[in-house]
Amino acid sequence: MAAMLPWFSAQPWNAASAHHGGRVAAQAVEAARSQVASLVGARKGEIYWTSGATEANNLAIKGVVEASVPAKRRVVTFAAEHKAVLDTVGWLGSTGIPVTVLPVERDGSISIQALEQSLSAGDVALVSLMAANNETGVLSDLAFVAELAHRFGALLHTDATQMVGRLPFDVRELRVDLASMSAHKLYGPKGVGALFVSNDLAIAPQIHGGGHERGLRSGTLNVPGIVGFGASADLAAGRMGAEAPRQAALIERFKAKLMRLIDGVELTAKGSRVLPNTLNIRLIGADAEAVMANAPSVAISSGSACTALTPEPSHVLRAMGMTDEEALECLRISVGCPTTEQDVETGAELIVGAVERVRSFN
């Protein structure tokens, strides 16, 4: 907030302007670009500003397809991806672009055999696989998938929104070609994101206008938001080493208390590697929305916040083989930098009480 405030008031300049104020704003934008690039192991010129990861996903997927030769335009993705990827791929399919949505396993992991079979056709332009699932926290082996995709001449895009700032994420080590991210997942401002595009890669712009962002994404830059993104990237880099194990311990404490006090608790991604701050559980015999209503002071969810207004079971959990009834009994719990041990203790007790009340109604 301290980094952003001057750009709302004393320094309200347009970073594209040629006057002195514009040049000062442009310098701030480039400094933030360096900060975000450093966080993900990229070069400064490989970071492009967007309004968030949803726009970054659209730009990456549509941009690659549009820039590809007609004989090699198929997009491969997975059934547990974020809607920002699935809906983009679905729209491409409606326009005649060949798309393949592969299933995932019961633990949320992908089938390498199915992916390799899809790639073997030789017409795949892009594979899109999230770094970490936003509902279950399941982590992907991006380096292995990148090697496989490149072997068949395909690019790899990853929606890295959930991982960047929480765990080490290096585009060079992982060999990803494009990566989407959002500032608000790092405690930065909402409404600003970025897309990493590997230097040797040309993709087609999806927003046309004044030629901002080296022609890839036109539109007046959100200078306060971008500066805030840069500041949050620096803060995340500094605290990640301590926060990841601390948050993992909090999640373990929460899970242990819940399972000690009530029966019928199942882990939805059992056996998979997951984010340190995320837990997805099924409370057998207790509707998740009813549990949330009976514990209103606990900020938990029954799925992604991006689809919370859609009254249907999580598409991620259904992709993992759950029935609608099972999926509706699942809660997503996450902790963060402000979360304390007392928060975890109190939250678990409130959820236990809510589950007992909901089950008593059945």
pLDDT digits (tens, 9 = 90+) for 271-317: 999 999 999 999 999 999 999 999 999 999 986 555 555 568 999 99
The per-residue pLDDT of the chain, averaged, comes to 96
* pLDDT attached to residue 143: 98
Domain match, 53 and 158 both:
yes
Instruction: Say if residue 179 is in the same domain as residue 318.
Output: no
User: Which residue, of 179, 202, 236, is where some domain finishes?
Assistant: 236
pLDDT value, residue 309: 56
Residues 3-24: tens digit of each pLDDT: 999 999 999 999 999 999 999 9
Inform me whether the pLDDT recorded for 138 exceeds 90: yes
How far separated are the first and last CA of the chain, in Å rounded? 47
Residues 38 and 149 occupy one common structural domain: yes
Q: What is the residue range of 219's domain?
A: 5-236
Q: What is the DSSP string of 191-245?
A: T-EEEEE-TT-----SS-SS-TGGGTS-S---HHHHHHHHHHHHHHHHHHHHHHH
Whether residues 64 and 183 fall in one domain = yes
* CATH number, residue 266: 3.90.1150.10
- Tokens 């079979």 belong to 117
* Together in a domain, 278 and 304: yes
pTM for the whole structure: 0.95
Domain boundary among 236, 266, 290: 236
User: Do 179 and 247 belong to one domain?
Assistant: no
CB contact at 8 A, 206 and 58: yes
- Tens of pLDDT along 216-257? 999 999 999 999 999 999 999 999 999 999 999 999 999 999
Q: What is the mean pLDDT of residues 100-122?
A: 96
User: Where in the sequence numbering do the catalytic residues fall?
Assistant: 306
Q: Identify each DSSP E strand in 41-107 by its residue range.
A: 47-50, 74-78, 99-102
Q: How confident is the model at residue 208 (pLDDT cuts 50, 70, 90)?
A: very high
220 and 268 assigned to the same domain: no
Closest CA to 262 of 359, 154, 163, 361: 359
312 shares a domain with 185: no
Q: What is the pLDDT of residue 123?
A: 97
For residue 362, the model assigns a pLDDT of 78
Q: Name which of 256, 279, 296, 285 is nearest 331 in CA terms.
A: 279
Type of residue numbered 323: T
Q: Judge whether residue 40 has pLDDT over 80.
A: yes
Please state the φ and ψ torsions of residue 135, each to the nearest 5 degrees.
-105, -40
- For residues 174 and 69, membership in a common domain is answered with yes
Whether the CB-CB separation of 235 and 186 falls below 8 Å is answered with yes
How much of the chain, in percent, has pLDDT values that exceed 70? 98
Assess whether 119 and 167 both reside in one domain.
yes
Number of domains into which the chain is organized: 2
Q: Are 290 and 197 found together in one domain? A: no
**CATH number of the domain to which 188 belongs:** 3.40.640.10
Looking at 236, 251, 286, the residue that finishes a domain is 236
For residues 103 and 125, membership in a common domain is answered with: yes
